[in-house]
Chain A
């Protein structure tokens, strides 16, 4: 046990904790300002914003001796007997001087800067800056250049913290960014012909403590203070990065990584980051349709009558041809939705066939030097749906297993859940479903299968649903909706909740609690799920 003294208060640290001054002070609520230090990157101690006074307490006499000079909090380890003073006049003066220095050549163009509102330079100026400008006035300059397809550099706003440079060297290992020039003439740049083009490039924008690096996807689309942030989980691949969804009035503007030491640390890939555009695609299905056999055309269906109507038809078919009901559980469904669907179908037909929907795989897993992995499996919840299937059917049957029975006309009522972003089924495969008497398809976009559905149900996108995903490493994360689904769309969860004759609004938490009680694999999810999720493996005997 180590004792650190911060501004006169004692802080106990476990023996295996390796904290620096910034981290230790944060434990006691002291926010030491910093630009260049980031927990995920190497320490360079160059911005000098985190300067503090330090000293040692003699273990024998208890006497404290302070160092005469200031030290960077980021570089100074908090060990037994270390003393930190973070709020003295000397420290405050040093902070003010650094802040003043950084602002000498800064354009101070906050009104047109995307970072305004979440900018450290701005925030620290108010908190730690000088009252007035003492340096000479400079004409406003705003030079910018493109570093790659996704990132723009606003050269004059840069404070040379070098976080972005270190990121491309240490995390992605691609090293596109470097520092050009010397002294006050330094600039971040890329070599000609070698743009910032790695698959995690967007992270440099989050890392930038000021407005120097702008995300072309987000640039000028929204002032940050208009947006609300919601904890979410990326549905782009089976890594399942923890993310923050920034939205305004039911429109997603930006996804950012949310720190999760168990999954993505501080990062996310660009595919996930920009993988929200389909949510607002104009091609999304809106409003349920049902096929009018007499008129031979689709007519609008009524969400309020659908649950009863569908229930009636499924029950009738199950009675007439027991064992002829089938459900396709998409790996895009949440655990709760998959459970509700499986439970419902097995309720009307105890012999119902349940299979896992097609699992989209693109290329191969791609790992970066620091360990971050982009998975080839482009769906968030294969593991969760598999566990549900195993519980209900004792095995995991795939979509391909289902097709012969479909073609043979053995299955009379089929419910297909989708949620796919791309074409996932071809014309020939879809044709075999013509044999079914009742085909219900709930999906985001039109597809050959959708064209054959008796009921076309629009599905919800990841940012619109409540529920939980289980990632490739068996970590379950729960999330709530960030935006409401567009007009005419009901989430799978709320539809299935109603079909299961549950009272009131869809409550994913109640369903998960039931799952945790019923299914051994999910037993660790019985208590409230923390923001970083729970490891379902803890209760597995493996």
Chain B
């Protein structure tokens, strides 16, 4: 493969990259002008569909297909929600896009709204991104001044308003229907589907929810075409009719115990090992990698001998992980206890569970109380089986919850215990030699919460 030219991050090293002037100097809003002049909305949907762009938010759902679910000839309004509630631990690619190159996102949003005939877009921004908030608002204001937003954009029969909405710091607001509920001013309890947002979403109107990076890709697909986009990444597996391929550039976040943590752009399909060695500069302090998270903690855990896992949409699944997720790799070196790792991820998920569905609400909290006890030296070997049972039974995949948060809580449990069971057993036997074989219920610990 020839040397990869950055696409999404191409502009960020330019001076004042966040301003309209710098963005336009680098060719920004070129695609918008051309598309509005030449193509009908349906043609843009077709273009994005033919590019096989898949959502960058985590699930990898084909973006063009999502747009095509909108009802035809709907009298409107149709809403576009930009999911900028980037809350997955260790994930910060959207943040860089919004802080350093907000116009790239806004151009993509305008194009997506044109394609979906949406006249209002909401950017649902994570509370913890004040810098992005300021940059985005500045960029939106610049666009209104320049006529890229507002009534009759660039003298075409197309109008669009973008509203920037700051969330209140809850992980669940990144779930698309949780986001919609939150935007409506309600508690972010994900909705039951059907109806899907494309039919009844925000304010009961057809709605599309797209991730920031996805919309940035739309900008470039509209600029350079579907064939260019498909020349990057991993083609669909011909033996697997359900694989839609993993095309395009991707922003990888690498964090944890590496020498050069950061956000890097590469074609989809990079392996975890390549990412650690090349972009991440290897494991720090000359230590060995013990495990790595493939795409945000909710995707599960890879052991040291699974680092050849390709980071495309179907790669991590082959290693019993949930999926690519946000492609945020966290490296865990040999000094880290997997018991601690699992305790920490479970604490996060139990804290962020919205509490709507019984299996997730009770399952995550039960798992946390067991891990608290194990950590405190009162573990039982039987707890591992119970943790696995919880892990296997909560989530949308077994059908026991409304949204995927529970799957994200289940996968670290399942992966950590199945892949590192020896370490867990050793820890329990060592810290609780007298009681590790107990099978009777024991007293729960009183734990003081983190918040």
In the complex, residue of chain A having the shortest beta-carbon distance to the beta carbon of B353? A183
Q: In the complex, are the beta carbons of B352 and A134 less than 8 A apart?
A: no
Interface residues of A in 93-148 (CB under 8 A from B): 94, 97-98, 101-102, 104-105, 133-139
Residues in chain A near residue B187, CB distance under 8 A: 178-179
* Measured CA separation A64–B195 after assembly (Å): 24
The answer on a CB contact under 8 Å between B386 and A134 is: yes
Tell me the minimal C-beta distance from A59 to chain B in angstroms.
Answer: 21
- The reply to whether the CB of B71 lies closer than 8 angstroms to some CB of chain A is no
Question: What would be 30 A-B contacts, judged by CB atoms less than 8 Å apart?
Answer: A44-B192, A45-B402, A46-B402, A47-B357, A47-B358, A48-B357, A48-B358, A51-B400, A69-B399, A70-B398, A94-B393, A94-B400, A98-B359, A98-B400, A101-B362, A104-B366, A105-B362, A134-B386, A137-B442, A137-B443, A139-B444, A160-B355, A178-B187, A182-B352, A182-B353, A183-B352, A183-B361, A184-B350, A184-B361, A184-B365
Residues of chain B within 8 A (CB-CB) of A160 are 355-356, 358, 361
Q: Within 8 Å of chain B (Cβ to Cβ): is A75?
A: yes
Determine if B354 and A182 form an interchain contact, defined as CB atoms under 8 angstroms apart.
yes
| Chain B proximity of A211: nearest CB distance (Å) | 17
**Which residues from chain A contact B366 at a C-beta distance below 8 Å?**
101, 104, 135
- Is B345 interfacial (CB-CB < 8 Å)? no
A159–B362 Cα gap in the complex (Å)?
10
Known A-B contacts A136-B444, A137-B443; A183 and B363 likewise in contact (beta carbons under 8 Å): no
Q: Mark A73-98, 1 if CB is under 8 A from B, else 0.
A: 00100000000000000000010011
Asked if B166 is at the interface (CB within 8 A of a chain A CB), the reply is no
Q: How close is A189's CB to chain B, nearest CB, in angstroms? A: 12
Check B370 against A136 for contact (C-beta < 8 Å).
yes
Q: Are B170 and A182 in contact (CB under 8 A)?
A: yes
Q: A528: CB under 8 A from chain B?
A: no
In chain A, positions 155-203 with a C-beta closer than 8 Å to chain B are: 159-160, 178-179, 181-186
Q: How far is the CA of A45 from the CA of B190 in the complex (A)?
A: 11
A49 lies within 8 A of chain B by Cβ: yes
In the assembled complex, A71 has its CB within 8 A of some CB on chain B: yes
Q: Is the CB of B358 within 8 A of A159?
A: yes
User: Chain B residues with Cβ under 8 A from A137's Cβ?
Assistant: 441-444
Which of B355, B386, B443 is most buried by chain A, counting CB atoms within 10 A of its CB? Answer: B355
Contacts of A75 in B (CB 8 A): 192
A102 vs B363: C-alpha distance in the bound complex, in angstroms?
10
Residue numbers in B under 8 Å from A182 (CB-CB):
170, 351-355
- Cβ contacts under 8 Å, B353 to chain A: 182-184
Query: Does B298 have its Cβ within 8 Å of any Cβ on chain A?
Result: no
Min CB distance A435 to B, Å, is: 67
**With A70-B400, A136-B369: A183-B441 Cβ-Cβ less than 8 Å:** no
Which A residues are in CB contact (< 8 Å) with B365? 104-105, 183-184
Query: Do the beta carbons of A183 and B359 come within 8 Å of each other?
Result: no
Chain A residue nearest to B193 in the complex (CB): A75
What CA separation (Å) do A181 and B354 show in the bound complex?
9
A-side residues, CB < 8 A to B, are: 43-49, 51, 67, 69-72, 75, 94, 97-98, 101-102, 104-105, 133-139, 159-160, 178-179, 181-186
Closest to B373 in A: A136
Contacting residues, chain B, for A44 (C-beta < 8 A): 189, 192, 356
The 10 closest A-B pairs by CB, nearest first: A101-B362, A69-B399, A184-B365, A70-B399, A136-B444, A183-B353, A186-B355, A46-B356, A183-B355, A45-B192
Query: Would you give the shortest CB distance from A341 to chain B, in whole angstroms?
Result: 56
CA distance A138 to B357 in the complex (A): 22
Judging by beta carbons under 8 Å apart, are B402 and A133 in contact? no
Q: Does B401 contact A (CB under 8 A)?
A: yes
Q: Do most interface residues of chain A lie in helix, strand or loop, or is the interface mixed?
A: loop
- In the assembled complex, the CB of B40 is this many whole angstroms from the nearest CB of chain A, namely 36
Separation in Å of the B394 CB from the closest CB of chain A? 9
- Give chain B residues whose Cβ lies under 8 Å from the Cβ of A71: 399
Q: Are A101 and B441 in contact (CB under 8 A)?
A: no
User: B398 contacts which chain A residues (CB < 8 A)?
Assistant: 69-70, 94
Chain A residues near B399 (CB-CB < 8 A): 51, 67, 69-71
Residues of A within 8 A of B449 (CB): 185
Asked if B396 is at the interface of the complex by the 8 Å CB criterion, the answer is: yes
Judged by a CB distance under 8 angstroms, whether B279 is at the interface is: no
- Residues of B contacting A133 in the complex (Cβ-Cβ under 8 angstroms): 441
A51 to B359 alpha-carbon distance, docked (Å): 11
Q: A136-B443, A136-B444 are in contact. Are A101 and B396 (CB under 8 A)?
A: no
CB-defined contacts of B189 to chain A, threshold 8 Å: 44, 46
B352 and A138: CB pair below 8 A? no
Most buried by A among B350, B362, B370: B362
> Nearest CB to that of A97 among chain B residues?
B393
CA distance A165 to B442 in the complex (A): 35
User: With the chains together, A104 CA to B443 CA distance in Å?
Assistant: 12
B449 vs chain A, min Cβ distance (A): 8
Judge whether B10 is part of the interface by a CB distance below 8 angstroms: no
Other 5 A-B pairs with CB < 8 A, given A133-B441, A182-B352: A44-B189, A44-B192, A69-B397, A69-B399, A136-B370
Please report the C-alpha to C-alpha distance between residue A56 and residue B13 in the assembled complex, in whole angstroms: 55
Residue of A nearest to B385 (CB): A134
B177 adjacent to chain A (CB < 8 Å)? no
Contacting B351 at CB < 8 Å: which of A51, A159, A183? A183
Report the Cα distance A137→B442, complex, angstroms: 6
**Cβ of A263 to closest chain B Cβ, rounded Å:** 30
Which of chain A's residues have a CB closer than 8 A to the CB of B362?
A: 101-102, 104-105, 184
Q: A138 to B444, Cβ gap below 8 A?
A: yes
Residues of A within 8 A of B401 (CB): 48
B364: interface (CB < 8 Å): yes
In the bound complex, residues from chain A placing their C-beta under 8 Å from that of B359 are: 48, 97-98, 101
Min distance, Cβ B271 to any Cβ of chain A, angstroms: 30
The interface residues of chain B lying within 8 Å CB-to-CB of A179 are 187, 355
List residues of B (162-203) whose CB comes within 8 Å of A's CBs. Answer: 170, 187, 189, 192
Q: How far is the CA of A399 from the CA of B163 in the complex (A)?
A: 66
B356 proximity list for chain A (CB < 8 A): 44, 46, 160
B187-240 at interface with A (beta carbon < 8 Å): 187, 189, 192
Residues of chain B contacted by A47 (CB below 8 angstroms): 357-358
**Separation of A136 and B187 alpha carbons in the complex (Å):** 30
Q: Are A48 and B400 touching (Cβ within 8 A)? A: yes
Instruction: Return A164 CB to nearest CB of chain B, in Å.
Output: 15
With both chains docked as a complex, state the minimum distance between the C-beta of A71 and any C-beta of chain B, in angstroms. Answer: 6
Give the nearest-CB partner of A46 in chain B: B356
Chain B 388-415: CB-based contact to A (< 8 A → 1; otherwise 0):
0000010011111110000000000000
How far apart sit A178 and B189, CA to CA, in the bound complex (Å)?
Answer: 12
Contact B364 A184 (CB under 8 A): yes
Query: Could you tell me if A46 and B358 are in contact, using CB atoms closer than 8 angstroms?
Result: yes
Distance, CA A194 to CA B398, complexed state (A): 41
1/0 per residue, CB under 8 A from A, across B277-298: the answer is: 0000000000000000000000
- Please indicate the chain B residues that have their CB under 8 angstroms from the CB of A69 in the complex: 396-399
- Bound-state CA distance A144–B207 (Å) is 42
Give the docked Cα–Cα distance between A181 and B393 (Å).
24
Docked complex Cα distance between A104 and B352 (Å): 19
A235 to B344, CA, bound (A): 60
Expressed in whole angstroms, the minimum distance between the Cβ of B186 and any Cβ of chain A is 10
Contact between A181 and B355, CB atoms less than 8 A apart: yes
Contacts of A70 in B (CB 8 A): 398-400
Give Cα A102 to B444, complex, Å: 16
Contact with A along B365-377 (1 / 0, CB 8 A): 1100110010000
C-alpha gap A181/B351 in the complex (Å):
10
Q: Contact check: which of B355, B441, B442 meets A184 at CB < 8 Å?
A: B355
